[in-house]
Structure 1
Amino acid sequence: MAFHVERVKKVQCDACKTSIDVSTAKPLSAVACPKCSAPVIVPAKVGSMMITKLYGEGTGSIVYKAHDRVLGREVALKVMKILPTDQPGRQSGMDEARALLLVNHPNIVAVYAIDTRRGQPCIIMEPLDGGSMKERLKPEVGMDEAEVLSIGIQVCKALHETSRRGLLHLDVKPGNIMFDAAGVPKLMDFGFAAIDPDDQLNEILGTPYYVSPELVRQLPPDLRADIYSLGATLFHAVTGHAPFEAATIKALILARLNSDPPDPREYRQDLHPLTAETLMRMMQEDPDDRHMDYTEVMEDLEDALDAVKERDAAKS
């Protein structure tokens, strides 16, 4: 576990309702029910939260699924990886969470509350039971074109809303586009902009497929950096290939800095021209050659989606 938790002594098997002693079991491990052999997850307590699952972990945070026993609902608990001695980082993380508390948008993960556990900022959010876009990616096999465009439009609306409030994301990628139980895409993890520049570069080198050239160069970014990353994410989703692929991270970064993206139709010839043209414009190496704002991006994505639907209807 990434922070202090209380062990749970007993749990009940969902299958046969047997009470099981788990006082010596590792939190979030699975044990077999002694009566019916059904697997039982060993939870862990954090205040009023009963943690039941690890959603995922990144450079700046770790996210758990939990049950809020006071409110009686399922939540996601995001714990920022900030040392108590790192006061600037801690304050930045809390400021980011407070800003998102004021944002109510259907395509942004809702923040219910913020808290601190032993000096570590915690964000209590809506649950994310539909998985991530990263989990939906299939190597060399693109997702449905209309579905990708629809997701792109909704994520673009989320970025437009936060940009109006002065927030940049700076880490748009398939792993940060989550889905709720109904399949609605939700953008999460806006904390990257608060990370120290040296740590930002380390994170870039860990997931270099979607980051904009200006962020690699450590130049001051604006919303066009997020437009680039969204374009790269949609490119990967619709083609099954990252826009730039190389044998080493260094070669990948050099390709990113020195060239514009390939035409996605090189990987998938059946893509509509409007889809290909929109993605390539979003990913131009020079920010001045990209869309200037999210309104332009949404218009192009919506035009492409309408054209794809019309084409597909004509085939049926």
Structure 2
Amino acid sequence: MDSSTLIGGHLRLKDGPVSGAMGDVWTAEDTRLGRTVAVKFFARRRLMQQGVPTEFAESTARMFQREGHAMARLNHRRVAQIYGGGEHDGEFYIVMEYVEGRSLAEHLRAGPRLPLERTVRWTRQICEGVGAAHTAEVIHRDIKPDNIMITRQGDVKLIDFGLAYLTDATQTHTVAGTPLYKAPERWLGETGNERSDLYSVGCVLYEMLTGRPPFGTPQDDAMTVGRMHQDEVPAPPSAHRPGVPAQLDNLVRALLAKAPAERPGSAQKVAHTVGEILNVLDVTDDLAGRADAPDAHGSNAGLSRGIEALDSRIFELELRFQPSDQPLIDARAEHADLTGQSGDTRGAAALYNQLARDCQDFFGPYDVRTLDAFEGLARWNSRARTN
């Protein structure tokens, strides 16, 4: 692609491309509106070079256009918006909102395990986006951590809504996406519906809670993973991570039901359920009366709001400071303590463990900041063992 050419007369390509089986994504400047956007090209020629029949590639390209038109009707804060599209040099493209941040997959790889509060909050936001798209009669069909962006403000934005149908349509000719989040009925050849998306949400939630998908690994043979989705029942998240509330175990079990009819009826219902679980992540009875539990966070909602505010603050500080700067170190320690006070003692220990190791790398093993972080790790580890 010639980056000196204006796409559609007003889009100047900048960074990219990021290539996938179905197309390429570029960062571009919209010269009319003065904003950064993402431009996704459908790789029709590439498909034909890989042996896809011309007629099939053409019909798939038309589906690409239709999905773009469908998503252009949806305007929701949890979904990356589609602004428009067109054709350039024989290839169709769509123009999307540019989301600045990191994918959920990157957060999961960075470790440690996500705190329960952040896991539940992000799951609720995922369901809000999924529900909005379902209301617009758009099915995602490829919900996975790579397609869930976390913005610089620490909020969820879902990407590639509706476009994954194209991957399914061409999977006999190209390498399809990861099978780790694919509902059982879709392994039987069905295109999937709203409850298939909810199954994928359950797989993502399971991984956020435990650090692993419910079935298989990325290195496993796809058909082996497919049989697991159809035949096996995963251990509850609490079996891998003690301290996971029973309500979350129950929700995961419902989302991962083999029969679609046994799953929750809508993403909105799941979002409501997750909101109630967020309130269960409480100051437990033995913590509520402790002197170290801050008065400002004397309720479930107060703790959740406090952790969310700290989460957002840490994301902002990461833009302004180096990882070793004191404001960021202090905010991470405060976040770990508040996580522990919410009842997620193992989450607090994991956060302090990461902070201690980072401080050791930054300042050495005997610096007061390193010692303070290891002390926090020991304190919350001790409380985790007694819970």
Root mean square deviation of aligned Cα:
2.5
**How big is the shift at 1:55?**
7.1
Greater share of residues in helix: 2
1:38-57 paired onto structure 2 within 5 Å: 46=7, 48-54=10-16, 56-57=18-19
Give the aligned residue type for 2:269. Answer: E
Cα distance in 1, alignment partners of residues 258 and 95 from structure 2: 37
TM-score by length of 1: 0.79
* CA positional deviation for 1:176: 0.5
Distance 1:101 1:208, change over 3 A: same
Is contact 1:224-1:293 (8 Å) kept?
Answer: yes
> Partners in 1 of 2:245 and 2:168 — Cα distance?
40
Name the SS of the counterpart of 1:53 in structure 2: coil
Structure 1 residue 199: Cα displacement: 1.4
Q: What residue is the counterpart of 1:66 in the other structure?
A: 28
Please give the per-residue CA displacement for 1:216-255, whole angstroms capped at 9, x wherever unaligned. Answer: 1112422110000011011112211111126632332221
Partner Cα distance (1:97, 1:200) in 2? 23
| Superposed CA offset, 1:37-76 (max 9, x none) | xxxxxxx864533333237433223222222223211111
Query: Where is the strand percentage greater, Structure 1 or Structure 2?
Result: 1
Q: 1:311 to 1:216 in 2, by over 3 A?
A: farther
- 1:78 paired to 2:78: no
2:154, 2:242 → 1: CA distance?
28
Counterpart of 1:25 in structure 2 is: none
Residues 73 and 136, structure 2, Cα contact 8 Å, conserved in 1? no
2:171 counterpart residue number: 199
Q: C-alpha distance in 1, partners of 2:175/2:144?
A: 12
Separation (CA, whole Å) in 2 of partners of 1:6 and 1:295:
42
With 241-250 and 186-195 compared, the bigger mean Cα shift is at: 241-250
Deviation at 1:198, TM superposition (A): 4.6
Match of 1:283 in 2: 256
Contact 1:257 1:285 in 2 (8 A): yes
- Equivalent of residue 261 in structure 1, options 216, 234, 250: 234
Matched residue type, 1:272: P
Q: Secondary structure of the equivalent of 1:251?
A: helix
5, 19, 42: which one pairs with 2:2? 5
> Letter of the aligned partner of 1:223 in structure 2?
E
Does structure 2 conserve the Cα–Cα contact (< 8 Å) formed by 1:89 and 1:195? no
Secondary structure at 2:40's aligned position in 1?
strand
| 1:97 counterpart (63, 68, 82) | 68
Normalised by the size of structure 2, how large is the TM-score? 0.65
For 1:164 and 1:63, how far apart are their aligned partners in 2? 27
- Between structure 1 and structure 2, the one with the greater Rg is 2
Runs (5+) with no aligned partner, structure 1: 8-43
Q: 1:48 to 1:295 in 2, by over 3 A?
A: closer
Matched, 1:213 2:184: yes
Tell me if structure 2 keeps the 8 A contact 1:140–1:239. Answer: no
In structure 1, distance between residues paired with 2:212 and 2:112: 8
Q: Distance in 2 between matches of 1:235 and 1:201?
A: 31
Deviation at 1:182, TM superposition (A): 2.3
Report percent identity of matched pairs.
23
The farther-off stretch of 252-261 and 171-180 is 252-261
Instruction: Identify which range, 106-115 or 180-189, moves more after superposition.
Output: 180-189
Displacement of 1:163 in angstroms is: 1.3
Distance 2:37 2:236 in 1: 41
Query: For 1:66 and 1:261, how far apart are their aligned partners in 2?
Result: 43
Distance 1:186 1:302 in 2: 18
